[in-house]
Structure formats: structure tokens, C-alpha cells
Amino acid sequence: METHVVSNLVVALLLAGGVWTGVAIRRDRLWSEAARSLWRRRPIALIVVAVYLAVAVLDSIAWVGGGEGQADAVAAHEARSVVDRAFAGTREASFSAPLADAEFYGGRPLQRPGSHLFGTDILGRDVLYLTIKGARVALLIGGLTSMIAIPLALLLGVSAGYFGGRIDDVVFFVMSTLASMPGLLLLIALIMAMGRSTLSVCIALGVTSWVGLCRVTRGETFKLRELDYVQAARALGVSEARIIFRHLLPNLMHLVIITFVLMFSGLVLSEAILSWLGIGVDGSWGQMIDQARNELSRDPIIWWNISAAGVALFGLLLAVNFVGDALRDILDPRTLRENQ
């Protein structure tokens, strides 16, 4: 199946998932109160994250066609996203400063003077356009990786915590081994082994970042297992599977959410480092920053592409961190208890 079709399907699934989550939260009083509390505390950060999400979604909906008459003939037969189409025909010849009328070197007039908010890069592509496309990549890295890391961490952590004994020994050993390896080197090795692609980067990042959540889950499960209500469930003949799904997992959710949100920024930054090493994902802000490195030493200096990517990266991660910290306060079980 072609990538753009997969991409469209995933967007549809995500939107459906989002709606279902929204409904589920509404029905559960504890979660809806938490959501309302979050909105009250950090409305701006939430709006910023929502904007990035919207942009990423727009860049994920792509289809072929409707590109006749464009200067770039290849583009007419490629799948292009909403964002691509919005910025169609904005290509210049080479560098230009933000909102300039002429090229940076040489002073030749631009095709669309005064319309490039962040200028253009060495290939004449609008920097704002590239920055917006980077949002999709960042969210993809954070999201896909988490979808690999979190279930893995939960599975292993809860098993180790609940069943203890041999299972715990094995998981603990694996965790400690992974944690003792230099993360970056392991990442590089994995990506080289799997070949450079978005998926391999995500898998590599996933494999190296599940340990933190697993440790926390294991510890929390140990604690929860001894609580009276779990003992009462055992005395009531509730099966172990049901105890895990009905009693343990819901009481671990707050940790998962907090960890996910805070892990997200770490993952995006890790990818930036990988890009600097040349093995990141194409189109990411990290890659933009890496490519812009050289331009900084030109005279006069070319600063707008690195700034745009840097600001975009900073903006997303700052917002995510604010949301994450607020979530941590709201979902702390002690706060939940005190509020009543």
C-alpha cells in the first residue's frame, strides 16, 4: 500500500481514537475532572499543543492529483498533503531573508516578494513550509515510539511487579542491562543495523526508552499489589487477569500518562541529536538545524532557517513540558484524595 494511503488511514484511526477517548473521559468523573483541571491550569500550553497537532494532521492527509500546471512536473504525480498544496509554487531559486523582496546573495528579485515569513533555504524552499512539515515528523517520532515503548514497559513492569519471583528476576536483569549501556551508542548501532528509515529510528528509540517507565510501573505494582482492595478482590475470587486489568492498570494510568508526556520531549530531542549525527529522520527539525549549521559561518550570516526550526522545536517541547508538569500535579493520587 502506498505510504500516503497508510498515512490517511492512520489519521482516520487517530481521529476515531481521539473521539473515543474524549467520550470515555466524559463518562468517567475522575478523568473529566482531571481534564477540566488541566484546562484551567495550562490553557495556553494546551492550545499550542493542539495547534501543532492540527498542523501535523494536515500534513498527514495526502492525495495524488490536482497539480497540473505546476512548475515541478514530478510533483503532479506524487501524493501531496494539504500543507504541500498550501505552499505549492512558493519555491524560489535560493536563499532569501524573511519577508525580503530579493535574493540574499545577488539581489535578484523573487517570484513572490515579501511573502516568505521565514525566508527561504539554499534550495529556495520556504522555511515556514519546512518548519510546518517538521511538526508531523516530531509528533510521529514521539507518538510512534511511545506506542512501541509503553506497551512493552507495561507488560514487563506489571508482570514483574505482580508475579514477582523468576519473572521479576528476568525483567530486572534485562532492565538493568539495558540501563547500563550507553544509550546513544546503542541507538546508533540499532539504526545502522536496521537501516535508516523512520520506522527503524522509532524502534530504536523505543527499545532504549522503555526502561524508565518499566521501572516505575514495576515499583508501583509492587505497592498496589499489597493494598487491601487487591487482597479483598483475591478473597472475592476475582481472577488474576481481572485483578490486573480492573484494579492495577487503571491505578497505573496516571503514571503512564505523565511518563508519556514527559518522555515525548526527550524522544524528540534524541532524534535531533541523531540528525546531527546524520542518522535521524528526514524532514525533522533536527535535520533542519543540522543542515543550517554550515550557513551560520557565512558572511553575512544566514540565521532564519536555524531559528525557525529551533523556535518550533522549543515551542512544542516547552508546551508539552508544561502540560506534563501540570498533569503530574493533577494526577498525583495524593492530590486526588485531598481534593475530596
Partner 1 sequence: MSARPLLQVEGLRTWFPIRRGLLRRTVGYVQAVDGVDLAIEEGMSLALVGESGCGKTTVGRSILCLERAREGRVWFGGVDLLRLPSQELRPYRSDLQIVFQDPMASLDPRMRVRDAIAEGMHSFGIGASESERTDRVAALLERVQLDPRQMWRYPHEFSGGQRQRLCIARALAVEPRLVICDEAVSALDVSIQAQILNLLGELQQDLGLTYLFITHDLGVVRYLADEVAVMYLGQIVERGGTERIFEDPRHPYTRGLLAAVPSVDPQRRSAAAQVLGDVPSPAHPPAGCRFHTRCPEAFDRCSEEAPELFAVEGGRSRCFLSE
Residues near partner 1 (CB under 8 A): 29-30, 227-229, 231-239, 246-247, 250-251, 333, 336-337, 340
| The amino acid at 323 | V
CB of 179 to partner 1, least distance (A): 18
CB of 155 to partner 1, least distance (A): 21
Q: Identify which of 137, 148, 150 has the alpha carbon closest to the alpha carbon of residue 59.
A: 137
Nearer residue to partner 1 within complex by CB, 73 or 241: 241
Could you give the CA distance from residue 26 to residue 46 in angstroms, rounded to a whole number? 18
Asked whether 111 and 92 are in contact (CB, 8 A), the reply is: yes
CB of 236 to partner 1, least distance (A): 4
Nearer residue to partner 1 within complex by CB, 28 or 329: 28
Compute the residue count for the chain. Answer: 340
Could you give the CA distance from residue 308 to residue 296 in angstroms, rounded to a whole number? 14
CB of 37 to partner 1, least distance (A): 15
Tell me the torsion sign for CA atoms 321, 323, 325, 331: negative
CB of 243 to partner 1, least distance (A): 10
| The amino acid at 197 | S
> Please, which residues have CB within 8 angstroms of residue 106's CB and are 6 or more apart in sequence?
94
Nearer residue to partner 1 within complex by CB, 29 or 182: 29
Nearer residue to partner 1 within complex by CB, 26 or 246: 246
CB of 251 to partner 1, least distance (A): 6
Residue 230 has, within 13 A of its CA and on its CB side, a CA count of 19
Nearer residue to partner 1 within complex by CB, 42 or 254: 254
CB of 164 to partner 1, least distance (A): 11
What is the DSSP-derived secondary structure letter of residue 62?
A: E
Nearer residue to partner 1 within complex by CB, 227 or 296: 227
Nearer residue to partner 1 within complex by CB, 229 or 314: 229
Tell me the torsion sign for CA atoms 193, 169, 260, 11: positive
The C-alpha torsion from 293 through 307 and 131 to 317, rounded to 10°, is 110
